[in-house]
Structure 1
Amino acid sequence: MNRPTDYTDLALGLVSAQSFPAIVGIADHMLKSSDVHLIGYEKIGSGHCTAIVRGNISDVRLAVAEGAERASQFGQELSTLVLARPDPNLDQILPIGSRLAELTGKHSGHRLSSHAVGLLETRGFPAMVGAADAMLKAAEVVLTAYEVIGAGLCTVIVRGTASNAAMALEAGMAAADRIGELHAVMLVPRPLDELDQTLPLASCLLEQLQPIRIPLSLKQKETAPVLIQPASASQPLALEQPIAEAVPAVVEPTPVPKPRASRTRKNPPSA
């Protein structure tokens, strides 16, 4: 799929919903139905999320139409917008041009990129934590991050195989209903790379190269600097010499002279 690298003349499409799992599912459908780029999501509070895509005008219109249809299937109240040629000043102020250049210029992959994505949204943080714990104990999935979008809505995100992610979502739904309020659930079996790059990821899951630590078993002798003396060309200069081992010296005790006895002079007898 050959896509241009200059994005300033491309159309802009926006689709909003009131749930983070719903907007991720809408964005996934938009990417798979049309040749567009997914810039990311804008979260403005109170549960409102907007997916932003960019591409040719025909592709953007098709993607927005498909996203609106998918949102209606989710029962989401949404708003849509298609801009044929956004003004350059709009690109400078809103995060729609620079963010796309960053996403396409740097690809940050991780070991879970090819796994399915499971999203479960609750109203209330305790319900989300309880659902996450139930999901991790019910199936072989990895908790990758959580997202907060306001209005008490928070989403837990897990990765794993499609079957494990589906099993985990079932357990999480039961736990969320028992603890608090379940708001939305979404399963993306085969996420595209652009969708994967826009999802949050905990820093502990990023693969980082660690320095190799070599254990030092040899004990190095301490060295002391010595005064460098001029030497001839045939004799090299000795820069460092090992400190000689300290040998305790035998110190002979110094004899202390005995004090002399004082002599008192006797006065001669008087006549």
Structure 2
Amino acid sequence: MQIQRRTPSQWQPKDPLNQYEGMALGLISTGSFPAIVATADMMLKTSGVKLIGYEKIGSGHCTAVVRGGIADVRLAITEGIQMAEQSGHYISSSIIARPLPNLEVVLPIGSRLGEWLEQKNPSRNSNQAIGLLETIGFPAMVGAVDAMLKSADVQFTAYEMIGAGLCTAIVRGSVANVAVAVEAGMYEAERIGELHAVMVIPRPLEDLEQTLPVAKCDLVQPQPLQLPLNLKETVKEVVELPEMVEISIQAPLENQ
């Protein structure tokens, strides 16, 4: 009688996440939402990683989570750290090589893994830029948005609050308009309250836009008034008015 031995790999239950074996997770944390968006943009444009999303834990702490091959994740984290340090809001970073399925199921990471294979050719949106302006205090952000909208042809699409009084306004438009708008918003934010961070992203990738509130904002454009095609112009009938009769009015005599 032969006894069939099972290999250690056969002891583990099958999990769809095992198809990503050999991949790694990269995490970078900053103290500003514009800083983490710029950091994520840098990681996406310098390495073949996938941006899973952001984790906001309050007090202004934001973490970007990327996934990919170990070499790609290491390169992305290296470039991301440099960008975060340039912004002055870098906090910490970590690389998890070959994470177990249990870790990915519990963390908010595995929800977008199924979409990875479906997006084989992500497209670039080169016609629009994203501007992010972060203030300490809501009134300063509202005032900055008002100044941005009045100074350039941009659209205010969303705002993000990450705790510690930090509010970020997100605008979209051409690169030149966004740059002008952000500059005007900076002066207004400093006049009202306190400016915390600003970022202009010229050509965001589709992967980045899907993780931002701006990607979910559907702006309703005003529709032009449409007249019916069978509308005919009617000719008005000319009505003759009666001749005016001149009437003389004699003024009353003054009392003697």
Map of 1:125 onto structure 2: 138
Map of 1:248 onto structure 2: none
- What is the alpha-carbon distance in structure 1 between the residues aligned to residue 215 and residue 48 of structure 2? 29
Give ranges in structure 1 of 5+ residues lacking alignment: 208-214, 216-271
> Do the aligned partners of 1:113 and 1:196 also contact (CA within 8 Å) in 2?
no
- What is the alpha-carbon distance in structure 2 between the residues aligned to residue 202 and residue 37 of structure 1? 17
Q: Structure 2 matches for 1:39-58, cutoff 5 A? A: 39-58=52-71
- What is the alpha-carbon distance in structure 1 between the residues aligned to residue 189 and residue 92 of structure 2? 29
For the structure 1 residues 14 and 202, does the alpha-carbon distance in structure 2 shift closer, same or farther, using more than 3 Å as the test?
closer
- What is the alpha-carbon distance in structure 1 between the residues aligned to residue 191 and residue 117 of structure 2? 42
Give ranges in structure 2 of 5+ residues lacking alignment: 1-17, 221-227, 229-256
User: Is 1:96 matched up with 2:109?
Assistant: yes
Pick from 175, 183, 188: which aligns with 1:170? 183
SS where residue 190 of structure 1 aligns?
A: coil
> Do the aligned partners of 2:56 and 2:162 also contact (CA within 8 Å) in 1?
yes
RMSD over aligned CA atoms reads: 2.5
Pick from 75, 90, 115: which aligns with 2:128? 115
For the structure 1 residues 134 and 94, does the alpha-carbon distance in structure 2 shift closer, same or farther, using more than 3 Å as the test?
same
User: Is 1:73 matched up with 2:86?
Assistant: yes
Deviations along 1:152-172, one digit per CA (max 9) or x if unpaired, are 001000000000000000110
Structure showing greater radius of gyration is 1
SS where residue 146 of structure 1 aligns?
A: strand
- TM-score, with structure 1 as normaliser: 0.69
For the structure 1 residues 103 and 127, does the alpha-carbon distance in structure 2 shift closer, same or farther, using more than 3 Å as the test?
farther
How far off is 1:201 after superposition?
3.0
How far off is 1:75 after superposition?
1.4
For the structure 1 residues 94 and 25, does the alpha-carbon distance in structure 2 shift closer, same or farther, using more than 3 Å as the test?
same
- TM-score, with structure 2 as normaliser: 0.73
Map of 2:245 onto structure 1: none
> Do the aligned partners of 1:114 and 1:191 also contact (CA within 8 Å) in 2?
no
Map of 1:197 onto structure 2: 210
For the structure 1 residues 204 and 86, does the alpha-carbon distance in structure 2 shift closer, same or farther, using more than 3 Å as the test?
closer
How far off is 1:77 after superposition?
3.2
- What is the alpha-carbon distance in structure 2 between the residues aligned to residue 131 and residue 46 of structure 1? 22
Map of 1:260 onto structure 2: none
Instruction: Compare the two structures and name the one with the higher helix fraction.
Output: 2
Aligned positions, number: 202
> Do the aligned partners of 2:23 and 2:97 also contact (CA within 8 Å) in 1?
yes
How far off is 1:100 after superposition?
3.6
Deviates more, 1:197-206 or 1:128-137: 197-206
- What is the alpha-carbon distance in structure 2 between the residues aligned to residue 51 and residue 204 of structure 1? 21
The percentage of aligned residue pairs carrying the same residue is 64
- What is the alpha-carbon distance in structure 1 between the residues aligned to residue 216 and residue 37 of structure 2? 21
Map of 2:25 onto structure 1: 12
User: Is 1:138 matched up with 2:148?
Assistant: no
How far off is 1:99 after superposition?
2.8
> Do the aligned partners of 2:140 and 2:189 also contact (CA within 8 Å) in 1?
yes
